[in-house]
Amino acid sequence: MSYKAAVIGLGRMGSTFDDEITQGGAIFLPYCHGPTYHAHPQIDLIAGADPHDEQRALFGDRWGIDRDHLYTNHKDMLESAKPDIVSVTTTARHRPQIVLDAAQAGVKAIWAEKPIAFSLEEADAMVDACRANGVALAIFCSRRYNTYFSETRRMIEAGDLGDVLQITAYASCGLSHNGSHAIDTIRYLAGGNVAWVFGEMASDEAAAADNDLMGNGYLAFDNGARAYLRSTSTGVASWEFDIIGTKGRVRTLSDALEFEFFQRVSGGLRDRGIPARSPFPQPARPEGQGITVVNDLIDAMENNRPPRCSGADGRAALEVAIALRESHRQGGVRIDLPIEDRALKIFSSETHADHTPARIRRLKQ
């Protein structure tokens, strides 16, 4: 079965981000939205919407979309083109309302960028609207769709690592914007929900504001797993994850350029066992994450199940980020989840100067 797709926000993640990628690691192509729909055998890319003339023109030329199917207003596109799947690749400033509009316009699935929103209140509304209208909502926390991380999750579920005890993540970033990736990856590998946190932010001044900020934190999961996230400066440990279980261990190095797998074997002092390095299962043909997302979305639509990284998962990543900051604000106390005050927010760093498209800002830099 084939599906009609459209993109709202025709800049970097909507169209041109893949042009910037020269090696793999955590990213396999096609990755962003336009290239993925163009490459996917079950998808017909039919339309796009963006208020900027140049963005629309470049998108249309690149992906063969006629000007009559390029819109300045996303509502007009939803009403006229009637896509089955919609990508929302705008900044988080506009994303919640667009998702609500798409859910109410009769689309079957939404593939939205991260972070899901600024506030928990907005995220709640997005999740509720998609659930009420039977729309599969996927948030692009992309490591869930990376074949190496999904293989690690498969190994955990198969018992190769035993019970997950500890996950340590090194990811120098703002807790909301790219922190969405780090927090969601921790949750994906831990296999449970965060019950409470302690947080330490980069400064009291940063914690007092609602802007995106770096911080560190301790996460306690309801299944007994524990995690530590360092999103302040990480030195030479760039986007690395260390997953320790009762029987095995996986380490990802240099932003997923290398994966190490250790298993306990007999030997060592008093024969208590020693960790021995084993080959990490390598995929024969790594699939582009965008293709994996769309395949997952199609299956979610057809089988009425949540996507691999659902709207609820995107909301959970935002809630952990806010909880870590609230812990610092309140003097380093434990913060239990869910958070009662749903008006709490973090302004994602992606929205800085977002009156100008990110593609143009990067060209000027």
Domains and CATH numbers, the chain: 3-142+289-309 (3.40.50.720), 144-283+317-336 (3.30.360.10)
Residue 363 has pLDDT above 80, yes or no: no
249, 163 Cβ separation under 8 angstroms: no
> Please, what is the Cα angle at 94 between 138 and 132, to 5 degrees?
45
* CA–CA gap between residue 11 and residue 89 (Å, rounded): 8
pLDDT for residue 222: 98
In order of 94, 197, 202, the CA distances from 321 in angstroms are 20, 10, 13
Q: Whole-number mean pLDDT of the chain?
A: 96
pLDDT for residue 19: 95
Residue 120 has pLDDT above 90, yes or no: yes
In sequence order, which ranges of the chain are alpha helices (DSSP H)? Answer: 33-39, 53-63, 74-81, 95-104, 120-132, 147-157, 179-190, 204-208, 289-303, 311-329, 358-364
216, 199 Cβ separation under 8 angstroms: yes
Residue 103 has pLDDT above 90, yes or no: yes
* CA–CA gap between residue 168 and residue 178 (Å, rounded): 16
The per-residue pLDDT for range 174-224, each reduced to its tens digit, is 999 999 999 999 999 999 999 999 999 999 999 999 999 999 999 999 999
